Amino acid sequence: MRQKMAVGNWKMNGTGAALAELQALAAAQGAARAEILICPAATLLSRAADVVKDSSIAIGGQNCHAATAGAHTGDISAEMLKDAGASAVILGHSERRADHAESSEEVGAKVCAAWEAGLMTVICVGETLTEREAGDTLNVVAAQLKASLPDGATGENTVLAYEPVWSIGTGKVPSLAQIAKVHNFIRAELTTRFGAEMAESTRLLYGGSVKPGNAAQIFAVSNVDGALVGGASLTAEEFIPIISALDAS
């Protein structure tokens, strides 16, 4: 059985005061069966790791460079994330792909660097509204998977997150049938490329306007093993009900 997983992506939000929310989450999650990963801003990584050191919550980064070191001002290597207390990193998020023009090939190189540093990768794929309306969703997801997911992927070093770009932070959520279609497709693609064992052990998360009010319905969808949550992960008050819905699914 795949362990359910809830990932909180804090994006460019939070100063030291936000660690109080993490403390509240750590205090409340003792009975959670799902794996919980919080990915704060890089400035909070080491402090966040210290806050959750006596809990089962894991800390992750939001991005890393493909190189281990060098003249890359403002960037952070996977080894640096590991050293700061991270055990995982989000890669290929649509905001990185759009705002920084990251190609799937670049994402794939970062994934390899993260694996080399001993980090689990949460790799994001998803289509824009234009691509959805053109009927290209599965083609887009397949192409992103092919280039972003290197050989060597396993259920231990890889988590995949389907995030339709048009749903992130907008309040718009695909129908349950649309979510199921993409998640079933991803599972089938993994089976074809890596074999049934890897495919069945790899967790597939849904991301895009996941809230306490819709979480239970989404978690009941075929091949949805959890969620990558943005805004609703910033407070324990909103994130705890999502984790509870996941535990109950």
> Is residue 160 within 8 Å of residue 205, measured between CB atoms?
yes
Structure token pair of residue 23: 């403390």
d(CA 237, CA 28): 10
Between the CA of residue 86 and those of 32, 72, 109, what are the distances in Å? 20, 20, 19
Cα dihedral: 239, 164, 100, 16 (round 10): 0
Of 65, 93, 95, 127, which residue is the catalytic one?
A: 93
Catalytic: 102?
no
Of 35, 106, 163, 189, which residue is the catalytic one?
A: 163
Coil/strand/helix, residue 140: helix
> Is residue 29 within 8 Å of residue 59, measured between CB atoms?
no
Q: Which of 146, 150, 147, 126 is nearest to 138 (CA)?
A: 126
DSSP single-letter state for residue 3: P
Catalytic: 93?
yes
As annotated, the active-site residues are 93, 163
